[in-house]
Chain A
């Protein structure tokens, strides 16, 4: 049995607008173990992104319990939650979320600087990460001087900056052509195989989902199916 890294119990997330409420996540229970690569699929509006936000502590559940690395998120103070996220969680968004005025290197180094790491150390680490994602030659480029695939690779490098054991990715290939998308997926897979990273990835693309070794299908805020698809990883 691998170490449990995420545990959700009867989690509900409701969004209220006036007197109507939308149940984006409607009673989800599941656990994810260290080193798993979990793909989440489901139709638009089925609650995938919300589920990811709840797991990573970006949003608070309305009901139920979310445990991340053994900590009950609803019981953490804001500062502690921020610290837990900064040290243990990397998040890759569909739209890259890079800061336009910073270079690739600075974007990757930023989370480290925010965590009070010395500039020289942070930049050395950032450079090493850019090398991992194959972008050493673009270190001094601003986001608008990079292709979509390159921006997403910078975003991955940034998500990895604090060596987080957990990586969340929301449609990381959604905006890329299939060749760049495959590079990103391979990179994620390598993180899992070589670094033992735990990865939770939302995608609407079955070919992308196939990089995971477990597939969760959502419908109307619920888990419709939870299927192990993994075998030996070579």
Chain B
């Protein structure tokens, strides 16, 4: 039997029961589709987050108050945690490998300009923030290098806040009121868009010491350090740990290196991918059972045809191959439909949410299709073997 005839005959068998075949293939299709869609999004997310994080450089270290242990955060609630202070930042700045430091305080507050008012995210930072975080101002300038404890009341507006408060009028040099205190606007930021649902433009930057006072806090929320690329983050992290532990008397803070964060992130996304894969595996299993059922029914219904084929000189092995072929064709059609669903779906999602890029790798697509065909093959074995083992006389007798 020629290959194209073999295919034609098996596809014909699948087509003869359109609705039934469609529903069975759908089982496989949904499984493959879900896996392709979710992994495409997952992979896209991975690329995206990686790019977002490494845009700050990988030589970034963050320090947060409280020690993260395997038991969870024993954070600010515990009384023996000393606050992270601006002085801590200053002392770390003196370390030779540290290029730059940023004290960070964050909170929400109302900002007023004339009759306009808006609640927004306030970032208390240093002049260095624009360098370390690679922020660019659109107009004016970022915070000046004032002494950290005696910083002047200047504010930099995110593009959205600027738009909301001042519209098309000049913002530079204007006075705004944040939590009752007056600040002078000396710069506005370029639009940065959204990161995972956070509007980066809905933010105002003021000096860290002012933010501490505003939110009535003792402790910074984070200290960011930029270290030279000559030394590894773990070595620098160790020195930072020594200095801070010396100042605090104990290790009541958590140091996170960018490298480690990327590792953790990679781990989380890896686990997510495995979970999605497992889900897809289950739906493939269900789809496989569907194919097994339908092929068993087909073998029953076509007993007479099997007898006829035997009478026409078809051997047992060829009967086996024909029915296995049909199961594989069924599953492969489902797989193709699933690929269509998955690729189309991720394209659709990227249309709806442009910020969430999807990334479908061809190697993945090919192996998903092969997997579908393999599921069909395995599911087809039992019914096909039953067909091959039929006695031709018995098979011909059923009508």
Partners in one complex: no
